[in-house]
Chain A
Amino acid sequence: MDAFWEWFRWLNGATGINLTIFYDKFDRGRFASGFLMTVQLSALCIVLSVVIGVVGAWLQGSRLRITRKVVYWYIQFFRNTPPLVQLYFFYFGVGSLLGSTDAAGNAVPLVSNVTWAVISLSFFAGAFNVEIFRSGIEAVPRTTLEAAESLGFSRLRAYLLIVLPLAFRISLPALNNNLVNLVKTTTLAYAIAVPEMLYVSSQIWSDELNVPVMMNVLLVTYFLLVGSLVYFMHRWERAIRVPGFGA
């Protein structure tokens, strides 16, 4: 294994392509942890934002005016503000109000920067997901819903068992788009010092001065990361396709 790593040191000497993330043990460690952080952050935010989307879309069809208003304002707030501003707002604004103090009187933040990133990015992507699922729900034929009602389904059961499965299939292409964007947006967490891939890369290139090389490494890594997400989403889309339904 060492010979493999050392080959990159030789590559640097021979060509000037300085991939310290392979032959420098410290850089290798931090790049790997940054990659894992990006994967973790993306996975958590994808799951949470889809849950927010499903729940939000259901609440949007609520009979209560107040519930519909709350969902409406939630979407307006998170969709109409830049995600970077939201991160700053949560971390520096809300974070400073939520702190407590330990026995020695030191300030202890209630929520860490990683958690704030997960919360903020999930809400941000979730707002879009609500709208994406709404478009799917509205595309389900009214007659299907009426049939479910006449068979005695409650609103929740009809939503979960009939409307959502159909709406989900219609929404998938738009959902893919939003999730791809979400993975790319995780780089913004760099601003509140979440040690994800862009953050560790910037640390590495400030120390090793291999800026162009690291830029390319980042580009390729994100391409592969987002590419694999898209690949699995497409396979899933094909697997759950209902023949004759939709396009």
Chain B
Amino acid sequence: MLKKTLSIIASGLLLGLLGASAANAHVLDDIKKKGVLVVGTKADYRPFGFLDPTGKIVGLEADLAADIAKRLGVKLELIPVVASNRIQFLQQGKIDLMIATMSDTPDRRKIIDIIEPNYYASGVNVMALKSQKVGSWDQVKGKKVCLIQGAFYNKELQEKYGIEGVAFPGTAEAYAALKNGNCMGFAYDDTALVGELLKPEWAAYEMPLESLLPVPWGMGVKQGEKAFADFLSKTVTEWHKTGAISALETKWGVKNTPYLKEMTAKFK
């Protein structure tokens, strides 16, 4: 009796292991067999992923995806995703990999695998007129700075950095107030400000400070794809070592973020 039970358990375990290993190799083998890597990126988030005049998705994250495809020796296919469908696309297998400005959170880690180390981080920065010649957070102390009501960094900016916050319900009001000179700058997510600054109407403005309070971004893959995840981990580590992402930032006209410098220092 005992023997029988044991053998059932053992065979169950064996089956489980077989199943797991089959799943492990699944995506990476499939990609190589198909000869195509399908990556979900943003198509509306300049300069990380946006459409060029010919309708092709280009940007910093598109370049990262291209680099991964090159390393795998396969062709690249980019699929536009948005925040509300990117995780579902990954789970359904519509995309093999997601590089779509996604913040790394514990909740998301429960439903997909997020690649360690994180490849990027957004932070809070200030957009101000170039003529103000803002060079450090000290210079913003005691000045009126537009904010968005309810943003998580509002308290820290006012308490620790001494800004005089002028918080509006939405970004449209804050940008209008900035233009009217009601505040000397607008403190907001740096990656969103970068996109806004690329518009010609903000030609006289800049984002001169070092970003604060970084929130890391992670690439996502389906759960259980260990081989693929390991390969991606190695790739991201290599990017950090060589400073490849900082170089891409420069290419797309973004000021180099201190987060990437830290990562480069860490992995050297």
Chain A residues in 8 Å Cβ range of B132? 104, 106
Q: Is B181 an interface residue (CB 8 A)?
A: yes
Give Cα A207 to B150, complex, Å: 7
CB distance from A196 to the nearest CB of B (A): 12
Q: Nearest A residue to B159 by beta-carbon distance? A: A26
Chain A residues in 8 Å Cβ range of B179? 96, 107
Indicate whether A95 sits within 8 Å of B182 (C-beta atoms), given known contacts A104-B131, A202-B149, A203-B149: yes
Indicate whether A92 sits within 8 Å of B173 (C-beta atoms), given known contacts A193-B167, A207-B154: yes
CB distance from A116 to the nearest CB of B (A): 10
Chain A residues in 8 Å Cβ range of B158? 26
B131-A193 in contact (CB<8A): no
Q: Is B180 an interface residue (CB 8 A)?
A: yes
By secondary structure, the A interface counts as: helix
Indicate whether A113 sits within 8 Å of B182 (C-beta atoms), given known contacts A26-B159, A193-B167: yes
Contact of A113 among B150, B166, B176 (CB under 8 A): B166
Q: Is B45 an interface residue (CB 8 A)?
A: no
B167-A107 in contact (CB<8A): no
Q: Is B137 an interface residue (CB 8 A)?
A: no
Q: Is A141 an interface residue (CB 8 A)?
A: no
Contact with B along A65-80 (1 / 0, CB 8 A): 0000000000000000
Q: Is A109 an interface residue (CB 8 A)?
A: yes
Chain A residues in 8 Å Cβ range of B131? 104-106
Within 8 A of A (CB), among B160-200: 165-169, 173, 176-177, 179-182, 184
A108-B167 in contact (CB<8A): no
Give Cα A193 to B186, complex, Å: 13
- For the side of the interface on A, what is the size category? 20 to 34
Indicate whether A107 sits within 8 Å of B149 (C-beta atoms), given known contacts A26-B155, A193-B166: no
Q: Is A16 an interface residue (CB 8 A)?
A: no
Within 8 A of B (CB), among A14-71: 26
Q: Is A123 an interface residue (CB 8 A)?
A: no
Chain B residues in 8 Å Cβ range of A91? 182
Contact with A along B39-70 (1 / 0, CB 8 A): 00000000000000000000000000000000
Contact with B along A82-96 (1 / 0, CB 8 A): 000000000110011
Chain A residues in 8 Å Cβ range of B173? 92, 191
Contact of B180 among A92, A104, A206 (CB under 8 A): A92
A206-B129 in contact (CB<8A): no
Indicate whether A206 sits within 8 Å of B150 (C-beta atoms), given known contacts A26-B155, A92-B176, A193-B167: yes
Q: Is A246 an interface residue (CB 8 A)?
A: no
Q: Nearest A residue to B132 by beta-carbon distance? A: A106
Q: Is A168 an interface residue (CB 8 A)?
A: no
Give Cα A96 to B167, complex, Å: 18
Chain B residues in 8 Å Cβ range of A133? none
A193-B177 in contact (CB<8A): yes
Q: Nearest A residue to B146 by beta-carbon distance? A: A193
Can you offer 23 A-B residue contacts whose CB atoms are under 8 A?
A26-B158, A91-B182, A92-B173, A92-B176, A95-B180, A99-B180, A99-B181, A104-B132, A106-B129, A107-B129, A109-B182, A191-B169, A193-B146, A193-B167, A193-B182, A199-B167, A202-B149, A202-B150, A203-B165, A206-B149, A206-B152, A207-B154, A207-B155
The 3 residue pairs across chains A and B that have the minimum distance between CB atoms: A107-B181, A206-B150, A207-B155
Given contacts A191-B168, A191-B169, 14 further A-B contacts (CB under 8 A): A92-B173, A96-B180, A99-B180, A106-B131, A107-B180, A109-B182, A193-B146, A193-B167, A193-B168, A193-B177, A193-B182, A202-B150, A206-B150, A206-B151
Chain B residues at the A interface, C-beta cutoff of 8 Å: 129, 131-132, 146, 149-152, 154-155, 158-159, 165-169, 173, 176-177, 179-182, 184
